[in-house]
Amino acid sequence: MSVEAPAEALSRCLQTYLAHLAVERGLSTNTVAAYRRDLGRYVVFLVGRGRRVPADVVEADVEDFLLALRTGSDGRAVLSASSAARAVVAVRGWHRFWVLDGVTSDDTARAVRPPAQPKRLPKAISVDQVTRLIDAAGLGEGPVPLRDRALLEVLYATGARISETVGLDVDDVDRNPDRAAVRLLGKGGKRRIVPLGSFALEALEAYLVRGRPALAAGGRGTPAVFLNARGARLSRQSAWAVLRTAAARAGLGDVEHVSPHTLRHSFATHLLSGGADVRVVQELLGHASVATTQVYTLVTPDALREVYRTSHPRAI
């Protein structure tokens, strides 16, 4: 067998693992594709070092693969720290699966750590900019402005991912003012309930009563909350377009950097700035680990300067 072609045993193990990720862990098609890409590169790397079966792989192979990701020594593209970290996480997960599945008796990737990444604050916009954005989305007459305003209000009110928001069905919305909330279907098929504020509830009520029926008239009775002009479920791409158009109308500068995740980041940042506990925000965002949420608690240079100016006796 030539070294250019992955070993049959390793390839078979990879297909089994990818099936496990898709079926048993319920990972999305895009996530599984990323694992396939990263682990496919790892398989070729291992075969190039003479490894034919999982039991042949040693810790040095994993460490050298990480080096190859960062230097391109395997003849492939050099990856950024974040992309290399993602690949190493995929490799570590595959090695753990080998042990759990009885393929190997030892986890040779256990001690290998992803490269350190610079901590960056997620991009957020101010409360005033959020208001301008939502107001811009609702400009005009007819059902579409009602839908667009409700869409952005829900995104900001719940911190939901765009896929979770366009995936909402009418039965997922509790419109009772005393307990207004939406039931979101998150990553891995996990559901969570997130409250709706009064502004989002008002916009959603206006859309469901006066806007959605007009859009639904041209469709086939889909239960989706947010509909397109043909009465079908609004797509992620169309929701992005709604946001970009609103950002341009609101004069938010470089609209290419305004995304549905901008509202998710703003939701978390504004809650924490207002005194919310990080674990509460974790639950609202649907993060599996609080460490993912804690990035929002990083102090910005502007905040440091402001505290210094107002607190140090000789700052002024």
At 221, list the tokens.
């009775």
Compute the distance between CA of residue 82 and CA of residue 30 in angstroms, rounded to an integer.
17
Q: Are 225 and 169 in contact (CB under 8 A)?
A: yes
Marked catalytic residue, from 95, 264, 265, 270: 264
Marked catalytic residue, from 41, 92, 270, 287: 287
70 catalytic? Reply is no
Marked catalytic residue, from 36, 175, 244, 261: 261
Instruction: State the DSSP code for 272.
Output: H
* Residue in this structure with the two tokens 């693992």, named with its chain if needed: 17
What are the Cα distances from residue 70, in Å, to 35, 45, 63, 112, 152?
18, 14, 11, 14, 39
Compute the distance between CA of residue 155 and CA of residue 231 in angstroms, rounded to an integer.
21
DSSP 280-302: HHHHHHT-SSHHHHGGGGPPPHH
Q: Which of 19, 21, 14 is nearest to 45 (CA)?
A: 14
Marked catalytic residue, from 187, 192, 244, 249: 187
Compute the distance between CA of residue 40 and CA of residue 1 in angstroms, rounded to an integer.
17
Task: Report angle CA 3, 36, 45 to the nearest 5 degrees.
Answer: 25
Instruction: State the DSSP code for 23.
Output: I
Marked catalytic residue, from 51, 149, 161, 233: 161
Compute the distance between CA of residue 278 and CA of residue 272 in angstroms, rounded to an integer.
7
264 catalytic? Reply is yes
Q: In what order do the strands lie in the sheet with 191-195?
A: 173-174, 181-185, 191-195
257 catalytic? Reply is no
The three-state secondary structure class of 181 is strand
Taking every pair of C-alpha atoms in the chain, what is the biggest distance, in angstroms?
A: 74
261 catalytic? Reply is yes
Compute the distance between CA of residue 31 and CA of residue 37 in angstroms, rounded to an integer.
10
Q: Catalytic positions, please?
A: 161, 187, 261, 264, 287, 296
